[in-house]
Amino acid sequence: MNKRAKFELRKPLVLWSLTLAVFSIFGALRTGAYMVYILMTKGLKQSVCDQSFYNGPVSKFWAYAFVLSKAPELGDTIFIILRKQKLIFLHWYHHITVLLYSWYSYKDMVAGGGWFMTMNYGVHAVMYSYYALRAAGFRVSRKFAMFITLSQITQMLMGCVINYLVFYWMQHDQCHSHFQNIFWSSLMYLSYLVLFCHFFFEAYIGKRRKTTKAE
């Protein structure tokens, strides 16, 4: 396996990334519009505890599509392997755990789902657009890559905050969830936060220090 030549797969990768980018952009716009409406008309608590996100006229489609999309997103890993790129722990751990948690939470229609899905759609809209541009051969600023990682870190911080709010309001019978779900979700988001912060340091700060020392 190590001796085989790597596959370029440039055109399939462009198509793959572009498809996921367009899907994520539409998902972010549709779920984002719903969440903004709930926030503006009913407040933060309702936006966190709202279960109608799972069965609303428009949002239910994008909630279901979100859950289904986690399986084909594993295709990212296939491209990495076939192109003989470095497969880091963060990549496959993130993909697998999001897949399992999304399916696990969707069936229970737990609180916080609207926030989790909307944030993920938004970050993926930018991330897959970046991947598509890179695969197509465009030179993209390093700052754009840094922005994406910072967006992911912010998403993980927000995920921890939403979990706390769900837990707090669940104690007052105002949020539909259960301790087991909140525990696994919090553990997942905290682990992502640590891993993405470590990745940011290694990819952007650590390399800059090494370059400075070399000079």
The residue annotated as part of the active site, out of 94, 172, 178, 198, is 94
| CA 28/CA 50 separation, integer angstroms | 18
| CA 81/CA 131 separation, integer angstroms | 16
Q: Which residue is it, tokens 């370029």?
A: 8
- 158, amino acid identity: M
50 DSSP 8-state letter? -
Q: Which uninterrupted H or E stretch holds 117?
A: helix 113-135
Structure tokens given for 121: 């759609």
| CA 35/CA 142 separation, integer angstroms | 31
Active site residue 94: yes
Q: Supply the residues annotated as catalytic.
A: 94
